[in-house]
Chain A
Amino acid sequence: NAGVMQNPRHLVRRRGQEARLRCSPMKGHSHVYWYRQLPEEGLKFMVYLQKENIIDESGMPKERFSAEFPKEGPSILRIQQVVRGDSAAYFCASSPKTMNTEAFFGQGTRLTVV
């Protein structure tokens, strides 16, 4: 049973370009979370999705960031017109249910904006 798969592992974008980060949850998991870790900081919640629905996007910047979890295929975190401050490690996690359960994390995507 493969774990949470994120790709790419490393992504370099120039300022103003778009970044697309992909996350395939563990088999049987329908809950996906995205977190961001800035240098020297902890993990900050961004968005929580179930299939085809955004449940909680309270941690997502209002502009340039969007997320989706389609019926088929991976969850996508999209960052438009990237800026240097978007450079961070982005982690995806999945869980089999919503309450009182651990979430399993992927290896992360390290985004560098140059």
Chain B
Amino acid sequence: DQQVKQNSPSLSVQEGRISILNCDYTNSMFDYFLWYKKYPAEGPTFLISISSIKDKNEDGRFTVFLNKSAKHLSLHIVPSQPGDSAVYFCAASGDYGGATNKLIFGTGTLLAVQP
């Protein structure tokens, strides 16, 4: 049961253009969403997050949009740079069942930014 889904396993974008990575979730108890970036043989690095009380959060070149009614969030990177090439994971958490606040991850999207 994949509660967080990233349906695009890969994305290729030209340097300087916008990268849009998408994520869908099924659990309505999720109330905090995060994006992580991962290079090969390294641990995930936190990028940006958003609480369910907001619909947009911006940090430099990175903006996350949340559409709660559609249970969808997206990460926009503009302008894209070759160093942004990595796997991007969407994650979600919430106070479900009172047991934990663990992060549930999607399967990742490999972003390739072409020079």
Q: Which residues of A contact B (CB under 8 A)?
A: 4, 6, 33, 35, 41-45, 48, 55-56, 58-59, 91, 93, 98-108, 110
Contact = CB atoms under 8 A, between A and B. Distances in A.
Nearest to A46: B102
B32 interface: yes
Contacts of A58: 99-100
A6 B36 CA distance: 19
Contacts of B25: none
A45 B103 contact: yes
Interface in B74-99: 89, 93, 95, 99
A100 B43 contact: no
Interface of B: 6, 31-32, 34, 36, 41-46, 49, 51, 89, 93, 95, 99-108
Nearest to A110: B41
Given A42-B89, A42-B106, A105-B43, A100 B100 contact: no
29 contacts: A35-B105, A41-B107, A42-B6, A42-B89, A42-B105, A42-B107, A42-B108, A43-B44, A43-B105, A45-B102, A45-B104, A48-B100, A48-B102, A56-B100, A58-B100, A59-B102, A91-B44, A93-B103, A98-B101, A99-B32, A99-B95, A102-B34, A102-B49, A105-B43, A105-B45, A106-B43, A107-B41, A108-B41, A108-B42
Given A55-B99, A56-B100, A56-B102, A100 B108 contact: no
Contacts of B99: 55-56, 58
A4 B43 contact: yes
A42 B105 CA distance: 7
A33 B95 contact: no
A48 B107 CA distance: 20
A105 B102 CA distance: 13
